[in-house]
Homo-oligomer: A and B are copies of this chain.
Amino acid sequence: MVNKNIKIEVEPIGKRFFLDKPTNGLKAIINTGIGIKTVCGGKGTCGKCRIVILNGKVNPPNEQEQKILGTDEIAHGVRLACQQIFDKDLSIYIPASSLSEEQKLQVAGIEKKVKIDPVCRKYFIKLKKATLEDIKADFNRIKGSLKKKNGIEVDSIDYKVLAEMPSVIRNNSWEITVTVRGKEIILIEGGDKTKNAVGIAIDLGTTKIAVLLVDMLTGKTIDRKGIMNPQISYGEDVMSRINFAIQSRDNTAEIQRVVVDSINKTIHELCNQNNLDESKIIEMTIVGNTAMHHLFLGLPVRQLGLSPFLPLTNEVLNIKAREIGINISQGAYVYMLPPIAGFVGSDHIAMILATDLYKLDGNCLGIDIGTNTEIALKNKSYIASVSAASGPAFEGAHIRYGMRAAPGAIERVIIDSRTYIPSIQTISDRDPIGICGSGILDSIAELLKAGIIDRRGKFKPENSYVYKDSKGVFQYILNPSFYKNGNNKDENISINQKDIVEIQLAKSAIRSGIGILLEDAGIEFKEISKVVIAGAFGSYIDPRNVINIGMFPKISLSKISQVGNAAGVGAKMVLVSLKERKIAEKIAHRTRYLEITVFPDFFNLFAKNTQFPDPDEII
């Protein structure tokens, strides 16, 4: 039945995979190394391997798919990968939440087709050699040629590039390639280098830094690398780092240096692996939250740690890379989109840009879940944003068995509503050693669905699978082996009452943030036509469970899209397109920041939203 010549284009996260020898269903996809996994092992019962058939004929859903998928999902081409038989050319989209752990640490965003219009352009010039009869200065010779041959006006040259210029010209027989940014010459190379124009786009996260090496002529990501933010050694969270930095100028310099060093090292490695020379990189863009933005620049952050939590600037910065210590081309700039507020950074602008949120029809929400969850509401007249202090529970912190999304972390949980016995999936299929964010979210949703906890988040002690630990705290044990072997309950991984409270606080913060945005705009949630969930964590979570724990009000799943690391995509868009850069700057100026804590109703709203939804609202 399988046509061996079939070609399947898979677009998981901006990368295209071609299957030369596809086999059927899930296995075909697994064979590509993309790594879709399921909890049910291909039986079609867990629903974790949702994909979207982008083109080619979509088969009608089979019985299992009809059971698992919503009608709107089916209508939108959503299917379970494990149930597909690929018999013709297909292009499929794999939501990040359907990806297995290979992609976990470096989840990329869905890339948009952007018209390439980079801020730096290269021109190959053959200069007339100077003689006593023709004694124009080197720079003016270049300037004249650019104007005459290319119609380009330049008025300045980077001072360090000026110093390199005469030897580059004379060592290359007066044939050079000039890189122009605005009206400034920022690089001069020997020979024709117009085919090599490389830039760097960075998403500078509190935990992770994604570094993209980008071909500025094609917009293609040549390579990428995700690294841990080395500032973690000064504190996992933003506030600890701010507290470290404000102790002295030396500390501010030190915490800057480690991140700059780390980025330099990564750029060097990426260049090395791709036979490129970092000293020829002509532009860098960086997005990140406001604290990361300031700490990267060595800017003071005292005012960022104290009410009213002000950034130093809401404007774009164009800074010579060498001034910050970034080792790329001598004349290159680092372009930084502006922070919107103390807790809404330029990564948020990049997300709004990359997800098209700013130009979608109707009322749309864009959400990036993290320790601070930034939420943007775009309506007819404006974009407003809030920051909800959701805390680190979704990152595994403040949760007894919480952990980062590392091998051995429980990432998917299903509780059988008849037997109350859990099925779990761990990262890398290791024995479970803890629970990561998506696993915690699944657990809570499944506990609710199975009726093991009530709307207020309390365990129902009458349930036979609720145990007290040695300290008398109620818990639900997640290890399936426990249910087989009846291990000592204290040695098992569990969700306890305190963990549930943490999640209640976290999800209430987000739900309340949404509530205030809606109230401010004078609209109701049902008027929302689209919810875009961005960010790595947001990509792994099951959107159904997001609704089931009440982080959002009930909404058709077809209106939710998970877009992965949209901030990184945005950073790349402003790297390769001046037009997108202008749009991003407009978004930055247009976005109104709302400080939710000053809303009179905030604390009532917050208390109310700690409740879980009615069991009959669960989908």
A interface vs B, CB < 8 Å? 130-140, 143, 155-157, 159, 162-163, 165-167, 170, 297-300, 302-303, 307-315, 317-319, 323, 339, 341-342, 593, 595, 597-598
Contacts of A310 in B (CB 8 A): 130, 135-138, 166
Given A313-B138, A313-B157, residue A170 in contact with residue B130 (CB < 8 A): no
Interface pair B139/A312, CB less than 8 Å apart: yes
CB distance from A314 to the nearest CB of B (A): 4
CB distance from A587 to the nearest CB of B (A): 16
CB distance from A101 to the nearest CB of B (A): 39
Interface pair B132/A166, CB less than 8 Å apart: no
Docked CA distance A514–B276 (Å): 55
Interface pair B595/A132, CB less than 8 Å apart: yes
Interface pair B163/A299, CB less than 8 Å apart: yes
Interface pair A299/B140, CB less than 8 Å apart: no
Docked CA distance A143–B316 (Å): 13
Nearest chain-B residue to A135 (Cβ)?
B308
Docked CA distance A595–B136 (Å): 12
Contacts of A313 in B (CB 8 A): 137-140, 157, 162
Interface pair A308/B139, CB less than 8 Å apart: no
Interface pair A137/B318, CB less than 8 Å apart: no
Interface pair A135/B595, CB less than 8 Å apart: yes
Interface pair B163/A298, CB less than 8 Å apart: yes
Docked CA distance A313–B339 (Å): 38
Docked CA distance A155–B589 (Å): 13
Docked CA distance A598–B133 (Å): 7
Given A139-B315, A156-B318, residue A300 in contact with residue B163 (CB < 8 A): yes
Contacts of A133 in B (CB 8 A): 595, 598
Nearest chain-B residue to A154 (Cβ)?
B315
Contacts of A308 in B (CB 8 A): 130-132, 134-135
27 contacts between A and B (CB under 8 A): A130-B310, A133-B595, A134-B308, A135-B342, A135-B593, A136-B310, A137-B313, A137-B339, A137-B341, A138-B312, A139-B314, A139-B315, A140-B313, A140-B314, A143-B315, A157-B313, A157-B315, A159-B297, A159-B323, A162-B299, A162-B312, A163-B298, A163-B299, A165-B312, A166-B310, A166-B312, A167-B300
Docked CA distance A168–B593 (Å): 26
